[in-house]
Amino acid sequence: MHVLSKEDFSEFINSLIAETSLNVVGVKSKGEKFAFGPLESANQLRLDYDVTILPPKKYFFPQRETLVTYDVSSGYQSKSLADVKPTIIVGAHPYDIMAMLHMDEIFRETKSDPNYLTRRNSSVIIGVNIQNMSESCFASSMGCATIDYGYDLMLTDLGDKYAIDVGSHKGADLLNKYSKNVKKALARDIQSVGKKKQKIMNKTQQEFGFSSELIPEMLGKFYEKTSFWEDHSEECLSCGSCVLVCPTCYCFDVMDNPDLSLKTGERGRTWDGCLLEDFAKISSGENFRNTKSARYRHRYFKKGKYLFDRFGFVSCVGCGRCSSNCLPDIANPVNLFNDMYDESLKIGIQIDPATIPDIKIKTGDTIDYAPKIATIVKKVPMTANETMFELKLDDGSELGHQPGQFVQVSVFGVGEAPFGVSSSPTKKDTFELCIRKLGNVTSKIHTLNEEDKVGIRGPFGNGFNAELLKGKDLLFVAGGLGIVPLRSLFNYVLDNRNDYGRVILLYGCKEPRELLFGDEILSLADRDDVEFKSTVDRCPENEVWNSNVGVITTLIPQVDFDPQKTYAIVCGPPIMYKFVIRDLKSHNVPDDHIIVSLERRMKCGVGKCGHCQINQLYVCKDGPVFNYSKIKGIPEAL
Amino acid sequence: MKPKVAFFDFAGCEGDQLQIANLEEEILDLLGQVEVVSFREVMKEHSDDYDIAFIEGSCTRLQDEERLKEIRKNASLVVAIGSCATIGGINSLKNYQNMDDVKKTVYGEKASLFDTYPARPIDAVIPVDAYVHGCPMTKDEFLHVVKSLLLGKKPEIPNYPVCVECKKNENVCAFERGEFCVGPITRAGCNSCCVNEGTKCWGCRGMVDNPNENSQKEVLVKYGLSVDDAIGKFKLYFGWQGKKK
């Protein structure tokens, strides 16, 4: 440990500020509050602050940023990060440093986010031990009131000087290069730092009446207690303040901003929040978390359970920002968890300390947010609202998808939307998407023609495991647009017909004119190696239909299959799954023989933005294809 | 061919059209994309041959309805601009009063010569394709909506409250400065401009689709506003939306 007089510390900061290659930011006053902002002089620093309005994560994950720029004539280009200056953050409190460590894991897991990590890796964190604690702070309860790692330098105010703990080579180099008169700390300085840290750890404005280790386990027992969540969220304004000020929240939205020329523009991302009403809403109007209590509960589960199961930490550091920014005063985790604990005592729920789950954090390639360009080589209208597009990547590469995977399709200036690939991987040069006109991107795609260009990212997600299904009997159950992703597997199976047992397709749509892939599908009736049945919910008088009328489940009793040898592959509108699965189960199909493909609002496609989350799972990353046995216990799934 | 656009005004202050006239350097870029055939505030010419009609102001008389229907017939897209047109605006304050008293206050002895009825937004009379909220609307959002329409896209207007933008802008909450703010239920899209400038949100963009009005009122009262004044806060811009419910 070292010490630096306050005067020399100011000199140190001022010499950092004088260095134009560095971006020096620190805690300053803002009205009656505090905020991190650019420093012009060390005098502006307010290291005696209690809490800043926003956490310093904004320097790595800014409120708004450009991911990609585009030019209609040349395509998409990732925003260059070459001009990112190293940011020196002066005055981060220990809880905010811990939050950065959480964010690092999240932005690094599976696929790394280049924008976050480039900024983060070049930054230097000069922390400061808490001198004044905000009224809503419960960092001690979360074990984050002090910290022994994660910083480059850590300051402790010792009256006329700062004690400086060097936490990294980066910190040491900075101190060596820019400061004068750094002295070795004396024994009594080290002792005073120890005492101060001890005092902070014990001093707490708000605290849990139980150990925070119980949180994941306790939450697990309260998911179904609907009235508990409704009571606590009754006054929720759905304003998102609690999540927007949170140092560990990372959800974002993506949108295109065209220039007035309409030929060029950018695709940006901005902070989003799961407390906001439309967060999980898709173009068809379906909102997968449509009550304020479901959204309110999701916030607690995300922090306290889902991230714990994924990373081994409860992703709350006790800064108290959520609670001090909640106008109706319902966002305070201390109140909620204390109520939950009291309630569990009252109703006699036993809670054991949550065991740390077996975690293997995978890291992988860097995300490329810039789509490749593809050309529409064929456009075939299928129904009044659905059109099939055959696409070819301009760089000549193959899409290389598995059946059941999806791609993100971009239309210049309009945006990006996910679509299941409907062609089999055996079709190599081109791939097919069948798109229903519904929202902005899909409506615009319908106005495009052969030779027009779109952007493609992907393929993404988990597809069907065609290998595992070899030798099995396959029962495809498709409702409406659900035939689209199933077709990629179905055609793959037909192209490798000898590898599979019986192939049965049950396909239903609302009315005859909504039948997709009409000729292709109806011609299946001529094949003797495929059993095919179709149905419509109703047939209007002016249409012709010679087959079954009734919902899709009416077809299931019409086929005879051996449930032990058969795998059912199911895709359709959200309402369909429950009923189809119920009927399959009544035919003794084992749970792990049911495979479903789910639809959610997928924005980033790579497990970061949070929109497609169903409880602990990301549909874009863990799905869209799931084995039913893996999701049957997941309440938001079906 | 560039789409032809026309501007129309009803009961309002014309402040929204002024925002367009004040677009400065961007106006040339805009004129590269559209042809203006009617805009009383800046030109003398007028034509009824237009594709996009921008309408400012609220409808406050029965005879205004005919003119609106005529515009709807001529235009393939109708865009309401500014609070009066999108949500009824402050004109709707009169809806809480006796119409005869209102007329007398405004026209005095000649009150009987004038017609009036409760103020309403444009979409209470004709279907509206897009909205540019705000009192006045901001240039940025106007351009955002125009660009979206030119691209054949439904403009994305937030359905979350002003708090979201306020937090992103790291403002000190208006309530913490002793102000009474209706940002928690007001539709965002203004980049929390009023709070950024140190005041509060008055609600000029109208309420989000599903506001928790009771909670907002309780918050106002908790921070010291009388119940009557809290209700008054809702009348300034939410008059039409509030009564409709």
Contact B160 A255 (CB under 8 A): no
Hunting for tokens 């023989």 — which residue is that?
Answer: A593
Strand order from edge to edge, sheet including A406-411? A415-420, A406-411, A453-460, A372-381, A386-393, A431-436
Residues in chain A: 638
For chain A, give the percent of residues with pLDDT over 90: 90
CA of A32 to nearest chain B CA: how many angstroms apart? 8
Q: What is the CATH T-level fold of the domain B4-150, as seen in this structure?
A: Rossmann fold (3.40.50)
Give domain status of residue A129, yes or no.
Answer: yes
Average pLDDT over residues A591-620: 93
What string of H, E and C letters represents the secondary structure of A449-505? Answer: CCCCEEEEEEEECECCCCCCCCCCEEEEEEEHHHHHHHHHHHHHHHHCHHHCCCEEE
Tell me the DSSP string of B74-96: H-SEEEEESHHHHH-GGGGGGGG
* Residue finishing a domain among A202, A235, A251: A202
Give domain status of residue A178, yes or no.
Answer: yes
Residues from A in contact with B at Cβ < 8 Å: 30-33, 35, 53-54, 58, 63-64, 234-241, 244-245, 255, 257-258, 260-262, 270-271, 273, 276-278, 292, 325, 327-328, 413-415, 439-440, 443-444, 447
Residues A113 and A19 in one domain: yes
Give domain status of residue A357, yes or no.
Answer: no
Segment A362-421, tens digit of pLDDT: 888 999 999 999 999 999 999 999 999 999 999 999 999 999 999 999 999 999 999 999
Segment A381-396, tens digit of pLDDT: 999 999 999 999 999 9
Residues A81 and A196 in one domain: yes
Residues A497 and A445 in one domain: no
Residues A225 and A332 in one domain: yes
pLDDT at A456 over 60: yes
Contact A588, A562 (CB under 8 A): no
Nearest chain A alpha carbon to B161: A239
pLDDT value, residue B245: 52
Give domain status of residue A635, yes or no.
Answer: no
**A55 CB contacts (<8 Å, ≥6 apart)?**
A96, A99, A245, A246, A247, A319, A321
Residue A305's pLDDT band, with cuts at 50, 70 and 90, is: very high
Residues of B in contact with A443 (CB under 8 A): 152-154
Contact B159 A413 (CB under 8 A): no
Which of A237, A440, A444, A611 to mutate to test binding with chain B, by most B CBs within 10 Å of its CB? A237
Give domain status of residue A180, yes or no.
Answer: yes
Residue B27's pLDDT band, with cuts at 50, 70 and 90, is: confident
Token digits of residue A348: 């006699």
Contact A94, A167 (CB under 8 A): no
- The per-residue pLDDT of chain A, averaged, comes to 95
Residue A81: count of CB within 10 angstroms of its CB: 12
Where are the strands (E) in A323-399, listed by range?
Answer: 372-381, 386-393
Segment A210-264, tens digit of pLDDT: 999 999 999 999 999 999 999 999 999 999 999 999 999 999 999 999 999 999 9
Q: Is the CB of B25 inside 8 Å of chain A's CB atoms?
A: no
Residues A508 and A584 in one domain: yes
Q: How many domains does chain A have?
A: 4
Average pLDDT over residues B30-52: 90
pLDDT value, residue A585: 96
Full residue range of the structural domain in which residue A251 is found: 212-346
Question: How many whole angstroms separate alpha carbon A417 and alpha carbon A434?
Answer: 13
pLDDT at A422 over 90: yes
* Residue B58, strand partner residues: B11
For chain A, give the percent of residues with pLDDT over 70: 100
Tell me the DSSP string of B179-227: ----GGGBB--STTHHHHTTS----TT-B-SS--HHHHHHHHHHTT--H
Average pLDDT over residues B86-110: 92
Contact A138, A206 (CB under 8 A): yes
Residues A138 and A68 in one domain: yes
Nearest chain A alpha carbon to B155: A440
Segment A479-515, tens digit of pLDDT: 999 999 999 999 999 999 999 999 999 999 999 999 9
Q: Is the CB of B224 inside 8 Å of chain A's CB atoms?
A: no
Which of B140, B153, B181, B213 to mutate to test binding with chain A, by most A CBs within 10 Å of its CB? B153
Residues of B in contact with A245 (CB under 8 A): 167
Contact B158, B41 (CB under 8 A): no
pLDDT value, residue A353: 87
pLDDT value, residue B244: 63
What 3-state class would DSSP assign to B164? Answer: helix
Residues of A in contact with B172 (CB under 8 A): 30-33, 53
pLDDT value, residue B24: 84
What 3-state class would DSSP assign to A427? Answer: coil
Average pLDDT over residues B146-158: 95
Rama region for B152: left / alpha / beta (φ>0; ψ in -120 to 50; rest): left
* Residue finishing a domain among A152, A170, A202: A202
Residues A49 and A72 in one domain: yes
Question: What's A81's DSSP letter?
Answer: -
pLDDT at B243 over 80: no
Residues A195 and A236 in one domain: no
Residues A246 and A106 in one domain: no
CA of B11 to nearest chain A CA: how many angstroms apart? 30
Give domain status of residue A627, yes or no.
Answer: no
Closest CA to B10 of B48, B50, B67: B67
Residue A526's pLDDT band, with cuts at 50, 70 and 90, is: confident
Contact B67, B92 (CB under 8 A): no
Give domain status of residue A301, yes or no.
Answer: yes
Give domain status of residue A520, yes or no.
Answer: yes
Half-sphere exposure of residue A473, counting CA atoms within 13 Å on the CB side?
Answer: 13
Which residue spans of chain B are classified as CATH 3.40.50.700? Answer: 4-150
ipTM of the complex: 0.94
Token digits of residue A494: 């037909």
* Beta pairing, strands A617-618 & A625-627: unpaired
Question: How many whole angstroms separate alpha carbon B145 and alpha carbon B143?
Answer: 5
Closest CA to B99 of B149, B154, B134, B61: B61
Closest CA to A351 of A361, A359, A341: A341
Token digits of residue A406: 């999806």
Q: What angle do CA A619, A623, A628 make, to 5 degrees?
A: 110
Which of A32, A51, A239 to mutate to test binding with chain B, by most B CBs within 10 Å of its CB? A239
Residue A512 maps to which CATH number? 3.40.50.80
Residues A124 and A19 in one domain: yes
Residues A336 and A318 in one domain: yes
Residues in chain B: 245
Q: Is the CB of B164 inside 8 Å of chain A's CB atoms?
A: yes
Contact A371, A416 (CB under 8 A): yes
Contact A276 B29 (CB under 8 A): no
What 3-state class would DSSP assign to A188? Answer: helix
Average pLDDT over residues A106-123: 95
What 3-state class would DSSP assign to A315? Answer: coil
Segment A168-186, tens digit of pLDDT: 999 999 999 999 999 999 9
* Residue finishing a domain among A159, A183, A202: A202
pLDDT value, residue A638: 86
Contact B161 A237 (CB under 8 A): yes
Q: Is the CB of B159 inside 8 Å of chain A's CB atoms?
A: yes
Closest CA to A51 of A116, A124, A128: A128
Q: How far is CA B72 from CA A414, B123, B131, B137, in A?
A: 26, 11, 15, 22
Residue A389: count of CB within 10 angstroms of its CB: 25
Residues A541 and A420 in one domain: no
Segment A546-565, tens digit of pLDDT: 899 999 999 999 999 999 99
